[in-house]
Structure 1
Amino acid sequence: MTGTARFRAWLVAAIAVTLFGGVVLLVGQPATGPGPAAPSTGSPTGQGAPPLSQTGDSEVTALLRSRAAAVLHRDRQAFLATIDPRATPQFRDAQAAMFDNLADVPLSVWSYDLDPTDVVTVPKGAFPAEELWAPEVQLNYALAGVDRDPTSKPMGYLFSRHGTRWFLASDTLTSRNTWRGPWDFGPVTALRAKSGLVLTHPDDADLGRRIAGELDSDVAAVSAVWDQPWPREVAVLVPDSTDELKAFVGPEFAVDSIAAVAVADRVDNGNHTAIGQRVVLNPDNATKMPVASLRVVLRHEMTHIAARGYTVDGTPMWMLEGFANYVGYRDSGIPLPVAAADVAELERNGTPPTDLPSNGDFAADGDKINLAYDEAWTLTSFIADTFGQHALVTLYLRIAGGSPKADVGAQLHDVLGVDRAGLIAGWQDYLRRKF
């Protein structure tokens, strides 16, 4: 694969979609733990103890409040006091390290929600205590200056009672999953810009500074095209290991071949909002990129961030990725024949595209996925150059915000005044003139 082709493959911003209770989760939350289990229908301890008393429920809730306050107020002693003294040294050390690693992270929210009615059974002898309890716990956190609303993450906590006191005993001994954040993988360096925040680790600080220096101009570049409301503040995560990268984007990604992925926790298309949005970079690939290429990648992913609340599940990928590439390459200085080399070759061989790229083309390997991205980008460039940039945005809103089963030909006619065949014919003529 040529360097140019490899770069185009790195632009893959695949969106893993899971429907859960009517909420679109663009990336399922990776975590640790043995796997899901059915909620307990008997003793919450799994040790024959009676159901947890209301007093115990209140004490665990108070423990979580104390833990959250300790994080926000940087009270290390109070934080560590919530950990069971009988917990394994590995867990105690990991919790202490996590607290220390959060020191530079600007947090506006850090709190916990507990559901005492959703409890899983803990095997007898799992931990030495008079009573064990494993209710559902959600961590709510928000990055200051980026998150307007907190996002929620699952925490597979196991609580233990000794006498009248409750502690946090483990986050891996139950069947629940525990989400891991950047602070679980090492010290975090926070680099601020007017338009966002970069969270990286000391070993990747140089790359983090490059990204932070790009944020303001890249957000402005996206906003120059995307004229709909969006936060215009972006959080970029720079993991420093494959395990950390997979923790943020999901184990289903072939992380070695991507440069960046845009992720979100929850999307509300009705209100055009998305919560927990992040751009996750692969430093192994991003560090190899020259300035122009990194800029294209960041603007591409930020376009997904900006448009996420307006994009329904099942949107044609040529619209989704073609639009992001249009914004990414706009004013990049990278010539069309260079960046869209595969389409240029088709045109030179007298075999231009004869149809819109299918969603399956974007899930293919090697040259086929590169061609799909090239075709989508040149198609959206044709639309912007011929009908105007505003028409391209309007078309995106119509297609991405409508039903995936809608007639694309009718949508094209409503916005551009041409049908599918007319669009393809005009695109082919555009390619002849450009290449």
Structure 2
Amino acid sequence: MATIDPRATPQFRDAQAAMFDNLASVPLSIFSYNLDPTDVVSVPTGVFPAEELWAPEVQLNYALAGVDRDPTSKPMGYLFSRHGTQWFLASDTLTSRNTWRGPWDFGPVTTIKTKSGVVLAHPGDAALAKRIGDELDSDVKAVSAVWDQPWSREVAVLVPSSTDELKAFVGPEFAVDSIAAVAVADRVDNAGHTAIGQRVVLNPDNADKMPEASLKVVLRHEMTHIAARGYTVDGTPMWMLEGFANYVGYRDSGISMDVGAADVAELERDGTVPTDLPANGDFAASGDKINLAYDEAWTLTSFIADTFGQHALVTLYLRVAGGDPKADLGQQLHDVLGVDKAGLVAGWQDYLRRKF
């Protein structure tokens, strides 16, 4: 704490002290900072009492041991202050830069390590963290049983304890109250089929209420996104992206399709079948519409796997999700499955009639 400005607010000093205490239980292989003295933002005079203030670009580099093969970088909006010949850290909120917050900024961290990854949570969510830890190895194995492309087979799961912490991890674009979990990444290299800073982030308010089978589906779904991230380009059709993850999630879960895709089953029994592939916009809707989109995507990818084989489903994912988003889908379907889009939809409709 000798490098913290004595004139810093008590809240900042206390937060810094708590952060370093909390870091002691986090399995880190790298924790360092990069500073760029050529990229400096101006700070209004008088914002902090000092002879000189300095706000260069600062990046935190960190890696979780046993999960991150390369460190990820996060922005830190640090303000440095000079008194005489000594420089101090004065604040992380007084510049125009944002400061990223990690689990260690939100309280004591409990860590569960497994062969296939790590769970970071807080003492209040210890029971949920244990449930996740008990699942982790088998869920990674289940994903790898379908996804036969190279991936790390190591996953970090974060269990935030508040809405603010959840937003810090997933960003403001997610409706955090409605999600059970989300897979995030800091950087993706599609050419090298790798991604950096991947995390599965759970919403404990929703996940804690789930029975074991449902939690298993959610974890496997999000782990599938992590496994396939390096092979997935922006603009991938959502039915392929989410349908494939749901296929892996529900596979061998013990949840039947008429239960897991109840909305689709009800429509089919009422004589209403999908007439087109689920649209991207449906996955950004709310309420019943988004639920139906996910259910339809799952039944569609299940139809592909059951009819053409699981390997064909993976091949189609690689072709559609890993190729040019502007490519002709009909040609991609024909090349992999031997059917055009109309044939795919017709076969899917017949599949639903037989299933429900």
**When the two structures are superposed, what TM-score results if normalisation uses the length of structure 1?**
0.81
Q: Matches of 2:46 and 2:351 in 1, distance apart? A: 71
- Structure 1 distance, partners of 2:188, 2:332, is 24
Q: Secondary structure at the match of 2:177?
A: helix
1:207 to 106, 119, 128: 128
Residue 272 of structure 1 is matched in structure 2 by 193
> Does 2:7 correspond to 1:86?
yes
Q: For the residues of structure 2 that align with 1:193 and 1:214, how far apart are their CA atoms?
A: 10
Correspondent of 1:151 among 72, 81, 86: 72
Alpha-carbon distance in 2 for matches of 1:94, 1:386: 56
Q: Deviations over 1:282-319 (max 9, x none)?
A: 00010100000000000000000000010000100000
Amino acid at match of 1:433: R
Query: Counterpart amino acid of 1:406?
Result: A
Matches within 5 A, 1:56-135: 80-135=1-56
CA distance in 2, matches of 1:260, 1:318: 18
Does the residue aligned with 1:117 lie in a helix, a strand or coil? strand
2-side partners of 1:109 and 1:81: how far apart? Answer: 22
Deviations 1:209-268 (A, max 9, x none): 000010000000000000000000000000011111111111222111110010000001
Q: How does 1:362-401 map to 2 (within 5 A)?
A: 362-401=283-322
**Aligned with 2:234: secondary structure?**
coil
1:321 aligns with 2:211: no
Q: Could you give the per-residue CA deviations for residues 134-184 of structure 1, whole angstroms, max 9, x where no partner exists? A: 000000000000000000000000111111111111111111110001111
- Are residues 1:162 and 2:79 paired? no
**Cα distance in 2, alignment partners of residues 333 and 90 from structure 1:** 49
Letter paired with 1:346? L
Identical columns (%): 88
CA distance in 2 between partners of 1:408 and 1:375 (Å): 18
Unaligned runs of 5+ in 2: none
Provide the residue aligned with 1:422 in structure 2: 343
Aligned to 1:333: 254
Paired with 1:397 and 1:417, the residues of 2 have a C-alpha distance of 16
Report the TM-score when normalising by structure 2: 0.99
2: distance between equivalents of 1:143 and 1:373? 32
SS of 2:275's partner is: coil
Distance 1:158 1:370 in 2: 45
Task: State the number of aligned residues.
Answer: 356
Q: Which runs of 5+ in 1 are unaligned?
A: 1-79
Q: Using the alignment, how far apart are the partners of 2:161 and 2:83 within structure 1?
A: 39
> 4+ runs of 1 displaced by more than 4 Å?
none
**Structure 1 residue matching 2:63: 3-state secondary structure:** strand
